[in-house]
Amino acid sequence: MRLAIGAAAMMSPARGGHELPIYPSFYPHEIEIRTLDPERAGNALRSAEIQAYVGSAVELGQQRENIRAIESLGFIVLVRINPARNLDEPSACATVNAVARELAAEASFVPHPYPVTPFHGDYLHHADLAAAAKARLSQRAAPARRPRIRAGGELARHHPEWSAGEDDWDAEIIEIDAAEAMANDTFFVNGRLGPPWLKTGWFNAERLLADNVEDGAAREQVQAAWSRLTTGDFTGLAQRINLERELVTLLTRRCRKAVVGYTVKREYVNVEFSAGIENIGYDAIAGLASPMFIRTVKLKDFPWNGWLALGIGGKPSAAWNPVAGMTDSFGRLMGFAVADPALMPAPYDAGWMLNRISDLPPDGAR
């Protein structure tokens, strides 16, 4: 009898063992963040002194065998018409078209005359509108003369002619750092990052082009669509998508200020065996400057954790506390390393994902 009981006990389901109900990420047990100039960062990456450099403009030289590029959204490029010119709408659109054509010659510029880019998680909701905007841009007539351009960003480095005086310009090229703009709109409260629509293209469009709507009736329509989207005043997915499309259409109706394209940011990681990185996740907009990168980076040297060394271009300049500071690039990265939000932005989507815990349906057998 005693043996029979023992056999029955051995065949019953076991709840012991070393398996965890929650699976932690590949989180390094030591993270070092160093401020490095782009010139020094290239040597540090090649020698595996650092495994990744958070930021672009790294000078790598010719030896790139163990270096891989991570691509994310760089700058959103806009063209703004000089308000003093008093151009009618067709003339303003023709001027924007002429500037966009000059920008198209730049290798780093991607023509895309629509504020929702393929890097935004809701791009498929706007793909047909983006294609129509591109078709309209190619069909517009050229202005009577070449516009005088004012610009001061990265795209203007090789164009000394883009240096019109304070008032003597027709159009201005504006470059908005997409990752920096998203970081400025991010807040941390109650264990999560926000706002919920942080990575949507329509939110990005409103931030870029809200001042482009001057007509009173159109402004009221924009405010109504914005209010409904941000308060959840819609029924179902279809109505929400229609509201998003309506909002972006209203914002892009005029040419006084228009998105004409974007650039791609490239950050670099070392994948050397065995001092480099084996696998990582990163954000389509923020790139490596994201909690997703910190929580998914896996080093080849260790089966689980390891010592992660990161380089970053910006020196610490803000207060190092979650209430009054951590608003510079160094502080935000450090905050991602020490904080543990319950929800994080999905890396390539406009939604959110649980941090470390999966929402699995209950197993009926248990």
pLDDT at 323 (0 to 100): 65
Give the residues of the chain that fall short of pLDDT 70. 1-27, 62-63, 164-165, 189-192, 303-305, 320-325, 356-360, 362-366
Cβ neighbourhood burial of 288 (10 Å; 0-12, 13-18, 19+): buried
pLDDT for the residue numbered 325 = 67
pLDDT at 255: 92
Distance of CA 5 to the CA centre of its chain: 61
C-alpha triplet 31, 191, 118: angle, nearest 5°: 75
Among residues 236, 153, 237, 249, which one has the least CA distance to residue 206? 249
Interval 59-86: pLDDT, tens? 777 667 889 999 999 999 999 999 998 8
Determine phi and psi for 161, rounding to 5 degrees.
-70, -15
Note the pLDDT of residue 330.
Answer: 86
d(CA 218, CA 327): 34
Percentage of the chain modeled with pLDDT above 70: 85
d(CA 77, CA 114): 10
- pLDDT for 27 equals 66
The pLDDT value recorded for residue 261 is 97
Q: Look up the pTM and report it.
A: 0.85
Q: Which amino acid is at 195?
A: P
Task: Report the pLDDT value the prediction gives residue 21, as an integer from 0 to 100.
Answer: 43
Positive or negative, the CA dihedral 36, 40, 42, 43 is: negative
49, 289, 291 from 336: Cα distances, Å = 22, 9, 5
Q: Token pair of 96, please?
A: 């924007």
Spatial contact of 252 and 114, defined as CB atoms under 8 Å apart = yes
Sequence-separated contacts (24+) of 45-50 with Cβ below 8 Å? 45/268, 45/269, 45/270, 45/311, 46/270, 48/270, 48/272, 48/275, 48/276, 49/309, 50/270, 50/309, 50/310, 50/311
